[in-house]
């Protein structure tokens, strides 16, 4: 029996699973979340279930369509919820399944691991009450809770306006939306935004609704610092020459998304620099075939394109996988969607990352909160030890070695390194992924580790 493993039960993974089922196979669908849906269609626990319109807004019809499809497919899928894939060796997946360690041997592997927030920190971001935009939304979707009564939303990208509006609708007092993108960005992005008119219209509607609700929306903002006694109480920011402070109980911030690529790295996939996402991404062709035979990539984990594109990419990658197994899919091929590529350019023009972020980061800024490493320490390492590559910086400072394995600090560390070394961002390389991708109990490692080789007495330090 052929074992097809799919990691990620978001839009990409679910559409891939649909293809595999249609060809008469029973895929194993693994996700660390308790319910299917991924990030955009995240479902609350049954006791907190709300109508799709309340949970997903404009995206409710697509969410419903996907859930209905799931209901029909579920009996033919080996679904493993609350299961983390923490290591991949060849085609062996190391799992932590509802707390129990295990392995799965796959004949073909489809990675649809999605994305997480891209974090460019600012002074005071480690104060209690400061969260990422994604975390703010997860709390609202999954637990029907707000970060606090008065929240400031800051950063850039579509999620900034979407989550601010979701909080406003849920009864939160949105104190301000502080966008780092320059005021002219929407005008510059307009031609490319019109490649997907309905999404562009949704964005314009969100902005209009926020303004109509009296929420101050400011562009070209630089975050100066969050301050408070024990937790955040105020956010200081600058717009042009004007410095202002906004009182609040919580801050949600983020600068777009970053692809979750650690499993692709562990699976041995080659990576290329992507100038649009300003990130190293696993190489794959238009069908989702990676550089490693039998390993396929789909959705935001391959490049940030959004949920509709993720569904399309999942279906394509599922078909490619089946074709390579000599079991062609009976479903029609999904359409090519050139507008989705144009949309990536539109989002980059609409929400450019602050080019001067690294130059303006003060030395005392905490960059890595796991290992408590500041911008000044990273700069000193470049200056004194001549570190010019990210993994060298990691070895010398421990940046990216903590619980987050670089998911939080990697983007910022790379920018600081490039700025301190005066080289383009693409030249500092990328953090190599190491297992476990997320913390697991030591028992899980012990169970899967090969027997320790005997250490010669003269090399032992006990």
What HEC string does the chain produce? CCCEEEECCCHHHHHHHHHHHHCCCCCEEECCCCCCCCCCCCCCCHHHCCCHHHHHHHHHHHHHHHHHHHHHHHHHCEEECCEEEEEEECCEEEEEECCEEEEEECCEEEECCCEEECCCCCCCCCCCCEEEHHHHHHHHHHHCCCCCCEEEEEEECHHHHHHHHHHHHCCCEEEEEEECCCCCHHHHHHHHHCCCHHHHHHHHHHHHHHHHCCCCEECCEEEEEEECCCCCCEEEEEECCEEEEEECCEEEEEECEEECCHHHHHCCCCEEEECCCCEEEECECCCCEECCCCEEECHHHCCCCCHHHHHHHHHHHHHHHHHHCCCCCCCCCCCCCHHHHHHHHHHHHHCCCCCCHHHHCCCCCEEECCCCEEHHHHHHHHHHHCCCCHHHHHHHHCCCCCCCCCCCCHHHHHHHHHHHHCCCHHHHCCCCCCCCCCCCCHHHHHHHCCCCCCCCHHHCCC
Q: Which of residues 278 and 300 has its CB atom nearest to ligand FAD in the complex? A: 300
Least Å distance between CB 347 and ligand FAD?
A: 11
Distances (CA, A) of 123 to 174, 238, 365: 21, 13, 5
Q: Which of residues 205 and 455 has its CB atom nearest to ligand FAD in the complex? A: 205
Q: Which of residues 285 and 372 has its CB atom nearest to ligand FAD in the complex? A: 285
**What distance in Å separates the CA atoms of residue 113 and residue 128, rounded to the nearest whole number?**
28
Least Å distance between CB 217 and ligand FAD?
A: 19
Q: Which residues are CB-neighbours of 442 under 8 A, at least 6 positions away?
A: none
Least Å distance between CB 34 and ligand FAD?
A: 10
Q: Which of residues 41 and 237 has its CB atom nearest to ligand FAD in the complex? A: 41
Q: Which of residues 30 and 279 has its CB atom nearest to ligand FAD in the complex? A: 30
Lookup result for tokens 């062709």: 285
Least Å distance between CB 126 and ligand FAD?
A: 20
Q: Residue 237's CB: how many other CB atoms inside 10 A?
A: 22
Q: Which of residues 31 and 249 has its CB atom nearest to ligand FAD in the complex? A: 31
Least Å distance between CB 272 and ligand FAD?
A: 19
**What distance in Å separates the CA atoms of residue 323 and residue 178, rounded to the nearest whole number?**
48
Interface residues toward ligand FAD, by CB under 6 A: 7-13, 30-33, 38-40, 59, 84-85, 112-117, 134, 137-138, 159, 162, 257, 260, 263, 299-301, 306-307, 310, 437
Q: Which of residues 222 and 344 has its CB atom nearest to ligand FAD in the complex? A: 344
Least Å distance between CB 205 and ligand FAD?
A: 14
Q: Which of residues 162 and 174 has its CB atom nearest to ligand FAD in the complex? A: 162
State residue 294 phi and psi, 5-degree precision.
85, 0
Q: Which of residues 196 and 394 has its CB atom nearest to ligand FAD in the complex? A: 196
Least Å distance between CB 29 and ligand FAD?
A: 10
Distances (CA, A) of 18 to 309, 318, 331: 16, 8, 9
Distances (CA, A) of 370 to 82, 129, 257, 398: 24, 17, 20, 9
Q: Which of residues 225 and 342 has its CB atom nearest to ligand FAD in the complex? A: 342
Least Å distance between CB 341 and ligand FAD?
A: 15
Q: Which of residues 84 and 130 has its CB atom nearest to ligand FAD in the complex? A: 84
Least Å distance between CB 452 and ligand FAD?
A: 26
Q: Which of residues 31 and 377 has its CB atom nearest to ligand FAD in the complex? A: 31
């Amino acid at each position: 029996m052929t074992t097809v493993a799919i990691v990620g039960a978001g839009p990409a993974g679910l559409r891939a699973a649909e293809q595999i089922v249609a060809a008469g196979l029973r895929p194993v669908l693994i996700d660390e979340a308790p319910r299917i849906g991924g990030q955009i269609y995240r479902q609350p626990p049954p006791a907190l279930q709300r109508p799709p319109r309340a949970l997903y807004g404009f995206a409710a019809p697509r969410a419903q369509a996907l859930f209905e499809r799931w209901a029909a497919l579920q009996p033919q899928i080996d679904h493993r919820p609350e299961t983390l894939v923490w290591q991949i060796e060849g085609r062996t997946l190391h799992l932590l399944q509802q707390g129990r360690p295990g392995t799965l041997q796959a004949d073909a592997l489809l990675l649809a691991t999605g994305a997480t927030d891209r974090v460019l920190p600012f002074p005071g971001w480690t104060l209690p009450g400061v969260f990422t935009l994604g975390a703010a939304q997860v709390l609202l979707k999954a637990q029907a809770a707000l970060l606090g009564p008065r929240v400031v939303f800051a950063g850039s990208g579509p999620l900034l306006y979407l989550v601010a509006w979701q909080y406003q609708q849920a009864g939160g007092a949105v104190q301000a939306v502080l966008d780092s993108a320059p005021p002219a960005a929407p005008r510059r992005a307009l031609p490319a935004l019109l490649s997907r008119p309905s999404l562009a219209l949704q964005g314009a509607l969100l902005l209009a609704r926020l303004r109509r609700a009296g929420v101050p929306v400011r562009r070209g903002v630089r975050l100066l610092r969050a301050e408070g006694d024990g937790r955040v109480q105020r956010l200081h920011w600058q717009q042009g020459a004007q410095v202002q402070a906004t009182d609040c109980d919580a801050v949600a911030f983020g600068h777009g998304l970053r692809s979750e690529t650690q499993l692709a790295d562990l699976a041995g996939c080659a990576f290329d620099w992507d100038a649009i996402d300003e990130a190293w991404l696993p190489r794959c062709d238009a069908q989702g075939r990676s550089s490693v035979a039998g390993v396929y990539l789909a959705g935001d984990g391959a490049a940030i394109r959004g949920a509709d594109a993720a569904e399309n990419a999942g279906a394509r990658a599922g078909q490619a996988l089946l074709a390579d197994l000599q079991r062609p899919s009976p479903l029609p091929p999904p359409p090519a969607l050139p507008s989705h590529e144009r949309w990536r350019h539109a989002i980059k023009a609409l929400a450019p990352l602050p080019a001067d972020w690294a130059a303006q980061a003060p030395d005392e800024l905490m960059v890595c909160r796991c290992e408590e490493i500041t911008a000044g320490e990273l700069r000193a390492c470049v200056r004194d030890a001549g570190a010019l590559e990210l993994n060298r910086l990691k070895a010398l400072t421990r940046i990216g070695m903590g619980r987050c394995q670089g998911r939080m600090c990697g983007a910022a560390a790379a920018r600081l390194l490039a700025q301190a070394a005066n080289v383009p961002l693409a030249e500092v390389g990328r953090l190599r992924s190491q297992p476990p991708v997320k913390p697991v109990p030591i028992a899980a490692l012990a169970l899967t580790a090969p027997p320790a080789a005997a250490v010669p007495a003269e090399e032992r330090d006990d």
